[in-house]
A and B are shown apart, each in its own frame.
Chain A
Amino acid sequence: MAFIDIKNLCKSFGSKKAVDNVSLEIEEGEVFGLLGPNGAGKSTLISMLSTLIKPDAGEITVGGYDLSEKPSEIKKFFGLVPQEIALYPTLTAKENLFFWGRMYGLGGRLLKERVEEGLELAGLSDRAKDRIESFSGGMKRRINVAAALLHHPRAIIMDEPTVGIDPQSRNHILETVQRLNKEGMTVIYTSHYMEEVELLCTRIAIMDGGKVIAAGSKEELQKLVGETETINIRISNMSGKEKSLIEKIEGVESVTVGEDKITIAVKDADSVLASVISQFDALKCKIHSINIDEPNLERVFLHLTGKALRD
């Protein structure tokens, strides 16, 4: 039996189905990624898993415990890193960690050790006595992660932990995830940053409109789009006819038009590129840059939903 077993999970808010009949299995010790655009249902799924909201239907089993029967047992397994900075801005980093440690039931010398450990993990031991409000966004995120690890949970749920932070802090968090996983911790990682999910996760579920539209390892998911490549063209002076004309070119599988960008999925970029450029030339469009990507999760998402991940 999987460490986390989710079966036919449903949750609606009014008439909107936020999570629609989702089933997943997550093994202990893996980094499981939930990939999807904003509003895909990732956060709702995570909220149900971390016992914050009750499902309308379906079952969740964690470590052999049924969530509907033993939510307090399940809470002990998890550490939650919410999407928001769930810290007290006017308390210092150390005071925050002490508070959260106590809430996780720690005390005495153990609590002190874990707080020191948390500060070290966040790389902020030298800023321990500074208030959270004086930290940069990245530093806050690092403490946000550290607070979820104080009680040494078996699994950590990270909901978009790198939103809006500097590259240095992002790298720090990604390295932390990798290190924790090496130490045996199960990680459930949600993001709409494809690169992060590709880098970290051993298995990935792609969500859209409240449903899991595909799940598997990175390689398994990439197979869904075959050997296709992506041509990304930055362009100006578009007339609006580009999409329909490019789609008619032989070898083109799909076309996505953005504000100043066109993404074209093709079987072989080399054989199609010349025709694409001449078509733009005929339409008097100005090409600024051309970039060819190998098959990736962005492409998978595009292939499965017909829209880009960040739309």
Chain B
Amino acid sequence: MIFRIAIKDLKIVFRDKKALAIMLIMPAVIMFILGSALGPMFEGSNPIERFTVVVVNKDEGILSQVLIQDGFRKHGADMLNTFLESDEEKANEMLRSKKVSTIVIIPEGFTRKFFEGYDTNIRIKTQADRQYNASVIKSITEAFCRQFYLYWAAASSGVEVITEIINEESHSDENTKALIPDITTVMFDMQQKTGAADIEFYGEKDVESEDGNKKRETVSGMQYYSVAMLVMFVLFGASTGTKLMVEERQSNTLGRLLTTGVGKVKIITGKFLGLLFITFTQAMILIVFTRFVYGVDWGRSVLGVVTITLCIAFSGSGLGMMIGSMAKTSSAAEGLSQLFIQTFTVIGGGMMPLYMMPGFLRVLSRGTLNWWAANGYYDLMLGSNYTAILPCCGVLILMGVLYLGVGVARFRTQAS
């Protein structure tokens, strides 16, 4: 009986062309528009093409060499092709003839000036239409120098302390003095040991996840909006089922159903299962569609995607049952659904990334099922495995049970 009621609801919804358009076509279109238009907000490195930089190094110290090797060639490898040129005029000519877009000139005495605390005056020249390249070089150089300054400060303080201790011990023979470390050695040793990984670069980068798999730090715009719209439209899918439920009450099919001998519990369970079927089927269709048509990467864990989808379908269906129990007419159900869904979507970061929102909204967002569902999907997209999404799944199930509980309680009150 329960299964028959659920299948009947699924059949009705999937025969309704308007409902289908809202549930499948509209989200597919909106995902594409938002993903394409707002994608660059998420992909800081994407609008910048990899570019070639020619470095003219007039410095004879070690710091400029480290900057080139570690800063430009190692950590800037994602964005820069770095070449050295000893002749500044030749480098300028390459820039003028547009053979390169950017040149960097490290002045004489760069290392010395740096350690003595003077301005180092690295010059960056770029073509007029490629000014962003200069910003990238500037960012890398500043971050690198800032880091080195910290090493230098730490190293010089350390050496100073050691020197004072040795001098106070009045064992100032030559052998003891030889124990005082050289600041530069200490500084580079620190740099080697800590690595320059503390230097932060804009854009995506891959990091090692705890389980040893490659894990990215950010999702793309298309991924972000595919998830956000998927969750929003799954809730709209649930609201279509909710509307159907209220219409059944209005047309007295629910009344007729109650006279057939099918118990209230079976009817409510069947209705909930129907909503679950509708929302889960809708979500899976959208996931498969975006995977193969838009190339959205939903992560490696198929089981994880199915599990989190089932959880959001459960939670959304619970919300649908609650709204269905609150609304007396189908238009009221529609209005209430709109209110819940749009509020949840905006607060839950479905319209714009949460980091762009005020702090209190970021806290509030955790009260929405959108936030938990989206984070579950993002975790999978970034390379996490099945177990990483279990907390999100747990919260979604809990929310679903809560909503369903309110709905069932209201239905029982109404029926009696």
Docked pose: A103 CA to B253 CA in angstroms: 12
- In the complex, which residue of chain B has the Cβ closest to the Cβ of A47? B255
Q: Does A100 contact B (CB under 8 A)?
A: yes
Number of interface residues of A (CB under 8 A): 28
Residues of A within 8 A of B339 (CB): none
Taking a contact as CB atoms under 8 Å apart, the answer to whether B11 and A102 are in contact is: no
Q: With the chains together, A110 CA to B253 CA distance in Å?
A: 23
Interface residues of B in 11-26 (CB under 8 A from A): 11-12, 15-16
Q: Which residues of A contact B258 (CB under 8 A)?
A: 51-52
Query: Which residues of the partner chain B approach A148 to less than 8 Å between Cβ atoms?
Result: 256
**A86–B260 CB distance below 8 A:** no
Q: Mark B375-398, 1 if CB is under 8 A from A, else 0.
A: 000000000000000000000000
A86 proximity list for chain B (CB < 8 A): 251-253, 255-256
* Residue in A50, A78, A91, A102 whose CB lies within 8 Å of B1: A102
Q: Is the CB of A54 within 8 A of B416?
A: yes
Cβ-defined contact, A100 with B12, below 8 A:
no
Task: Name the residue of chain B whose CB is nearest to the CB of A80.
Answer: B259
With a cutoff of 8 Å between Cβ atoms, the chain A residues found around residue B416 in the complex are 54
Quick check: A87 and B253 within 8 Å, CB to CB?
Answer: yes
Question: How many whole Å from A116's CB to the nearest CB in chain B?
Answer: 19
Is B252 in contact with A105, judged by CB distance below 8 angstroms? Answer: no
A50-B259, A91-B8, A103-B257 given as contacts; is B251 within 8 A of A85 (CB)? Answer: yes
By the criterion CB–CB under 8 Å, are B12 and A82 in contact?
no
The answer to the question of A90 belonging to the interface, with a C-beta cut-off of 8 Å to chain B, is yes
B255 / chain A contacts, CB cutoff of 8 Å? 47, 52, 80, 82, 86
CB distance from A160 to the nearest CB of B (A): 12
A43 to chain B, nearest CB (A): 10
Evaluate contact between B15 and A103: CB separation under 8 angstroms.
Answer: no
Decide if B262 touches A103 in the complex (CB within 8 Å): yes
- Contact, CB under 8 Å: B261 / A104: yes
Is B4 located at the chain interface by the 8 A CB criterion? yes
Asked whether, in the complex, the Cβ of A75 is within 8 Å of the Cβ of B256, the reply is: no
Q: How far is the CB of A154 from chain B (nearest CB, A)?
A: 14
Cα-based distance from A85 to B256 in the complex (angstroms): 10
Residue of B12, B253, B261 touching A105 (CB-CB under 8 A): B261
Q: Could you say which residues of chain B place their CB within 8 Å of the CB of A52? A: 255, 258-259
Q: How far is the CA of A6 from the CA of B253 in the complex (A)?
A: 26
Interface string of A76-97 (1 = CB under 8 A from B): 1010101111111011000100
Min distance, Cβ A52 to any Cβ of chain B, angstroms: 5
Q: Counting CB contacts under 8 A, is A193 at the interface? A: no
One of B4, B15, B261 near A76 (C-beta < 8 A): B261
Query: Is B12 within 8 A of A90, CB to CB?
Result: yes
Q: Which residues does chain B contribute within 8 Å of A236, judged by CB atoms? A: none
B350 CB, min distance to chain A CBs, angstroms: 30
Complex: chain A residue closest to B258, CB-CB: A52
Does the CB pair B12–A103 fall under 8 Å? no
Bound-complex Cα distance A75 to B261 (A): 6
User: Quick check: A99 and B4 within 8 Å, CB to CB?
Assistant: yes
Tell me whether A75 and B259 are in contact (CB under 8 A).
Answer: yes
Q: Bound complex: CA of A103 vs CA of B1, how far in Å?
A: 7
Q: State which residues 49-83 of A face B: CB under 8 Å.
A: 50-52, 54, 72, 75-76, 78, 80, 82-83
Residues in A neighbouring B251, C-beta threshold 8 A:
84-87
Q: How far is the CA of A72 from the CA of B16 in the complex (A)?
A: 34
> Cα distance A72–B253 when bound, in Å?
18
Q: How far is the CA of A90 from the CA of B252 in the complex (A)?
A: 16
Q: Contact partner of A75 among B11, B16, B252, B260, CB < 8 A?
A: B260
- List 5 A-B pairs, minimum CB-CB distance, nearest first: A86-B256, A103-B260, A84-B252, A86-B253, A82-B252
B contact residues vs A (CB 8 Å cutoff) = 1, 4, 8, 11-12, 15-16, 250-253, 255-262, 416
Beyond A82-B256, A86-B251, A100-B256, 20 additional pairs, beta carbon < 8 A: A51-B258, A51-B259, A52-B258, A52-B259, A75-B260, A75-B261, A76-B261, A78-B259, A80-B259, A84-B250, A84-B252, A86-B253, A88-B8, A88-B253, A90-B12, A103-B4, A103-B257, A103-B260, A103-B262, A104-B261
29 A–B pairs (Cβ distance < 8 Å), ordered by A? A50-B259, A51-B259, A54-B416, A72-B261, A75-B261, A76-B261, A80-B255, A80-B259, A82-B255, A82-B256, A84-B251, A84-B252, A85-B251, A86-B252, A86-B255, A87-B253, A88-B8, A90-B15, A90-B16, A91-B11, A99-B8, A100-B260, A102-B4, A103-B1, A103-B4, A103-B257, A103-B260, A103-B262, A148-B256
